[in-house]
Amino acid sequence: MQNCIQAELRKIRLNIGFSIREMAADLNLHPATYQKYEDGSRTLPAEVLKMACELKQKVDEFMAGMPARIDARIEEDYPHGIPGRGGSDVQEIEKQ
């Protein structure tokens, strides 16, 4: 059972894209302590697994909203279309 929990902790970290050091920092743990939780040489407290799951949820929510934020930023930076993408700037150049 404990090995399944450690595997889940590692899966969460890899899904987020964090190194052991980054994950440990976000969970306020020393990297060596975190690594021992992940490799099973130290019993993983339920609270640490809960914090890891909450972190994953926050990252997932952030990433789910990313396309809309990118689209909004592109619209803000290029209200007439992206240069070279067939927008109005290309039509203006063709008219000249």
Tell whether 69 and 56 lie within a shared domain: no
Q: Provide the pLDDT for residue 1.
A: 54
Tell whether 55 and 81 lie within a shared domain: no
What total of structural domains would you count in the chain?
2
For 61-78, letters b (16+ CB in 10 Å) and e give: eeeeeeeeeeeeeeeeee
Q: Provide the pLDDT for residue 89.
A: 47
Tell whether 25 and 38 lie within a shared domain: yes
The rounded distance, in Å, linking the Cα atoms of 55 and 9 is 11
Question: Which residues in the chain land under pLDDT 70?
Answer: 1-4, 85-96
Return the structure tokens found at 51. 């914090």
Q: Provide the pLDDT for residue 86.
A: 60
Tell whether 47 and 6 lie within a shared domain: yes
Q: Provide the pLDDT for residue 81.
A: 81
Q: Provide the pLDDT for residue 13.
A: 92
